[in-house]
Amino acid sequence: MKVNVKTEHSVPVRTPVEAAAIHSLATFSKRTGAKTAAASKRTATEVTPVKVVREAAPEPVATSPEATIAEPKVIAPEAHKQASAGHIVLQWLTYVFWGWTILGLVWLMVIVLGNAVTGNDTSSMVPYAIAASLVLLPISVVCDVFYSRHELRKKTGASMVVMIIHAVIFALFGIGALISGILLAIELFIGTSSSTGSWTTVWLYSFLASAVVYALTFLRTLNPFHSFKIGRWYTIFMVLVVGVFIALGVVGPLAQARLTKDDRRIETNLSVISSAVERYTQDKKALPTNLSQIDVSGSPDAGALISDNLVTYKPEGSVKSTNTFRQDRATASDTDYRYQLCVTYMKASGTGSPRTYSDDNSGYQEYLYIEGHPAGEVCYKLKTTIAAPVAGVQILR
């Protein structure tokens, strides 16, 4: 009988194959651990230690009242910027064209106010003033827009010279306009004889308005605020002011000129028709029956006046009259051929009444005078006198 005795620390019995496998595994573990330890040692030796270097603090510098600390200067970009030749030319053109635009504005202002206040016909000059303003204003605006884009805040050299010259000119014109306006205001207040009339009021308003415009132009030229917006606001102001007066000129004197164009044709050419009637009467010793018989070939405008039926001819015949101015033939009588030229005016002009004075108090004139006329139909009484021959005197022709 076989008894198995099991002890507490008994070692298990392995086969030869298991013992060989365990021995191989132990050998592989030793080799792997040796390589890992060598690599760790090599890595530790290759790491370079960081050395911390501490610099000594600078010693304090003793300050004294005489010691000065130089600080860096901040130089503005435009401090050394010079205006180019093209920029100076553009600056000059801007100032010059604004000056001419103001003169055209003042001219247009006088015409418009003169027509509104006095009621006189100022249409003969308004086309020129409107044309000048329409040409000068856009040129001034374009020049100012391009100049403002490159305008220097602080002008030096030639740019400053150009600015000073035109600023002085604008200041002188503005002060002169202000003095003239105040003088006219004082004369109107005290009622001097030279200040009577509505044209004084027209010039007063024109001078005061001109002084304001020149003052704003002076500020725009100097630009004391160093702002680029001042050019923009000045341009807007001038466009509005000039535009308003151009519109007033169109609806006022210019529209009136179109309405009264026949009045001006009559005032200019009626005397040509009167002279033609006189020549016909002197040659034929009789009045023409109608205006188609007279010769006005030298004046196409007078012929157009007749063809447009703007003149009505009324022959009245002939009468004998004694010429009291010829003492050598007190008993001789002349022959007066009387007629009327009637026209219709759209608007009154001048004093509003035609001249009726004549040398024989008959109301008929030898020469046509158109100094003033009312609105509506006006008939001019005219005569052509054929003198009677004096005894013993032969008249040569």
What is the dihedral sign for C-alpha 299, 301, 307, 312?
negative
pLDDT category of residue 221 using cuts at 50, 70 and 90: very high
Could you please report the per-residue DSSP string of 214-281? HHHHHHHHH-TT--THHHHHHHHHHHHHHHHHHHHHIIIIIHHHHHTHHHHHHHHHHHHHHHHHHHHH
Q: Are 340 and 380 in contact (CB under 8 A)?
A: yes
Angle at 226 between CA 223 and CA 232, to 5 degrees: 65
DSSP conformation class of 125: T
Cα–Cα distance between 205 and 190 in angstroms, integer? 18
Cα–Cα distance between 334 and 315 in angstroms, integer? 18
Residue 364 has pLDDT above 60, yes or no: yes
- Cα 388 → chain centroid: 66
Q: What is the number of other CB atoms lying within 10 angstroms of the CB of residue 211?
A: 19
Buried b (16+ CB within 10 A) or exposed e, 285-315: eebbeebeebebeebeebbebbeeebbebeb
* Residue with tokens 């001019």, as numbered in its chain: 380
Residue 245 has pLDDT above 80, yes or no: yes
DSSP conformation class of 16: H
| pLDDT tens track for 103-161 | 999 999 999 999 888 877 787 889 999 999 999 999 999 999 999 888 887 878 888 89
Tokens encoding 312 = 């009505």
For residues 147, 150, 153, 154, the Cα torsion angle rounded to the nearest 10 degrees is -90
**Per-residue three-class SS string for 194-230:** HHCCHHHHHHHHHHHHHHHHHHHHHHHHHCCCCCCHH
- Contacts (Cβ under 8 Å, ≥6 apart) of 183: none
Q: What is the number of other CB atoms lying within 10 angstroms of the CB of residue 245?
A: 24
Q: What percent of the chain has pLDDT over 90?
A: 43
Residue 344 has pLDDT above 50, yes or no: yes
Question: Tell me, what's the pLDDT at 62?
Answer: 47
Cα–Cα distance between 291 and 312 in angstroms, integer? 9
Cα–Cα distance between 170 and 219 in angstroms, integer? 10
Could you please report the per-residue DSSP string of 302-340? HHHHHHTT--EEEEEEEEEEE-TT-GGGTT-EEEEEEEE
pTM for the full predicted model: 0.63
Cα–Cα distance between 101 and 95 in angstroms, integer? 10
Question: Tell me, what's the pLDDT at 257?
Answer: 83
Strand partners, 376: 345
Q: What is the number of other CB atoms lying within 10 angstroms of the CB of residue 1?
A: 2
Rounded to the nearest integer, the mean pLDDT of the chain is: 79
Residue 80 has pLDDT above 80, yes or no: no
Q: What is the number of other CB atoms lying within 10 angstroms of the CB of residue 366?
A: 14
Residue 77 has pLDDT above 80, yes or no: no
Q: What is the number of other CB atoms lying within 10 angstroms of the CB of residue 45?
A: 7
